[in-house]
Amino acid sequence: MANEILLSENFLPPQERSPETPADAAVPKSKWTILVLAIIFLFVYLALGVFTYSFFRDQFSGTETHPLVDALYFSIVTFCTVGYGDIVPSTSTAKILTIVLVSIGVVFLDFLLNRVVSHVLSLQESAILDRIKTRNRAIRDQIAENGRIRIKWKLCLAFCAVFLCVAIGALFLHFVERLDLWDSVYLSVISVTTVGYGDKAFKTVQGRGFAVFWLLLSTIAMASLFIYFAEMRIDPNTLIKLPISESEFILSKLKESGKIKEDDINRIVAEFENRENVPPSGS
Q: Is the pLDDT of residue 147 over 80?
A: no
How distant, in Å, are the alpha carbons of 6, 63, 148, 251 from that of 244? Answer: 12, 55, 12, 11
CB 207 within 8 A of CB 173: yes
Mean pLDDT of the chain: 80
Higher-confidence position of 23 and 76 = 76
Please state whether beta strands 148-149 and 144-145 pair in parallel, antiparallel, or not at all (unpaired). antiparallel
- The strand ranges marked E within 21-97 are 60-62, 87-89
Instruction: List, for residues 232-251, the tens digit of each pLDDT value.
Output: 777 555 545 554 567 777 87
At residue 64 the predicted structure's pLDDT band, cuts being 50, 70 and 90, is very high
- Assign 208 a pLDDT band (cuts: 50, 70, 90): very high
Asked if pLDDT for residue 66 goes beyond 90, the answer is yes
